[in-house]
Copies of this chain bind each other. A is one copy, B any other.
Amino acid sequence: MLGLIGAGGAGLALGGVGGAFAGAQTVRGERAARAYDFHGEHQQGVTTLSPDALVLASLDMVDGATVDDLRELLADWTYAASRLAQGLEVAEDGAIGASPEAPPPDSGEALGLDAAGLTLTFGVGPTLFDDRFDLAERRPAALVDLPLFAGDLLEPARCGGDLVIQACAADSQVALHAVRNLLRIGFGRAQVRWLQTGFTHAEGSAERTMTPRNLLGFKDGSANLRVDDAAHLGEFVWVGDDADQPWMAGGTYLVARRIRMTVESWDRTRLREQERVIGRTKVEGAPLSGGEERDDVDLDATDDTGQPAMDADAHVRLAHPSVTGTRILRRPFNYVDGVTSVGQLDAGLVFLSFQRDPEQFVTIQRSLRTDLLNEYIRHVGSAVFAILPGVAEGESLGDRLLG
């Protein structure tokens, strides 16, 4: 089902990419085959390849919560996440049915399901560093709210948050179960602010070598950073030891944007225009400047008539590293949330990108100001979070941040 992260050889082969797989310490036997180890230098869910289902939750600390509440919450989450990632009950084995006079410590809907490649990724937002927890001096300079970009139509209820949990799995039920139980652990300390689901699926899922398509019907990510390119990840994604806040070494920054696509308008647009807007062919995903999907875009190429092969405002051109001067690791999902009040699908892209400084995203987003694609999309949700560094066994996610 999640071919890449199988047992044995395939799992080992992944060790250098997204982390090692948990072994025999789980109690579920063969179900452990699809489990990532929660521990490591970096958190999972950044360079692990995108699985089919996303549940992304933003939370706010409740009124009156203290820094001790925050510390204990992060410790509780660390323990719970290390179990959930193995496909185990959130508290301890068998606890669901053990105490008739207490609420079950795990909500139960993942009982019997395997880990389904679950990754859980935790981060903190800029607001956590206001005057509530005496953390202002620990705020990384890079962790500030994103500017308002041209065309943004942000809905406050879909923006911001003190904390974030990203759950990705091959199975929606497993991803939601994890987030729900982590939210529940936060009860009385943190409260969910918004929750966003997403999905994706790529041809050849057994190898995950193909580029998934977004709801524009185009391949999305052909020129993305490769998760096995350690040099680029070090340059563009992971915060290094030279960070202004040493606690962020090994972390990264997440930018999350809910980008609505007016798919009905797009679907009535001619193929030639769709391809002009994107700068790639629809079926193959090849750059309009020629070559095949994975070939680099030639911004100076001309067509038979001597005209530029790619529109000056084509999406892939304005997003191209040679134009923006920077790169990010994108990890997009598609979403559909019913129908709008005017009878259109409320569907689009959950844009997630990881970068060592949110300014990389800002630079690219500013370059897209004249993007032809803007006619068909609306940014309606936005948030930025510092993704905490990974933890070793026995460490808590909050140890380095809270000292």
Contact = CB atoms under 8 A, between A and B. Distances in A.
A176 B108 contact: no
B338 A195 contact: yes
A214 interface: yes
A197 interface: yes
B345 A183 contact: yes
A338 to B, nearest CB: 5
Contacts of A138: none
Given A173-B199, A334-B173, A282 B97 contact: yes
B104 A193 contact: no
Nearest to A31: B203
A258 to B, nearest CB: 10
Interface string A259-276: 000011011111110110
Interface of A: 1, 52-53, 55, 96-97, 99-104, 106-113, 157, 171-174, 176, 180, 183-184, 187, 191-197, 199-205, 210, 213-218, 263-264, 266-272, 274-275, 281-284, 334, 336-339, 343-345, 347
Nearest to A266: B107
B192 A102 contact: no
A346 to B, nearest CB: 8
A271 B104 contact: yes
A210 B102 CA distance: 27
Contacts of A264: 184, 187
Given A96-B282, A103-B269, A172 B195 contact: no
B180 A345 contact: yes
Contact of A102 (B100, B183, B270): B270
Given A111-B213, A172-B201, A172-B334, 4 more contacts: A106-B217, A109-B216, A111-B217, A176-B334
Contact of A108 (B103, B218, B338, B339): B218
B195 A52 contact: no
Given A263-B180, A339-B194, A339-B195, A108 B201 contact: no
A336 B107 contact: no
Contacts of A184: 264, 267
A345 B192 contact: yes
Contacts of A269: 103
A215 B107 contact: yes
Given A52-B171, A267-B184, A104 B282 contact: yes
5 contacts: A102-B270, A110-B213, A111-B217, A183-B345, A195-B336
Given A103-B269, A215-B109, A217-B111, A173 B197 contact: no
A200 B106 CA distance: 18
A272 B191 CA distance: 27
A271 B183 contact: no
B103 A281 contact: no
A297 to B, nearest CB: 19
Contacts of A111: 203, 213, 217, 283
Nearest to A170: B1
Given A173-B199, A194-B338, A345-B180, A107 B267 contact: yes
A195 B270 CA distance: 26
Contacts of A213: 108-112, 173
A108 to B, nearest CB: 2
Contacts of A173: 199-201, 213, 334
A351 to B, nearest CB: 16
A353 to B, nearest CB: 20
B217 A108 contact: yes
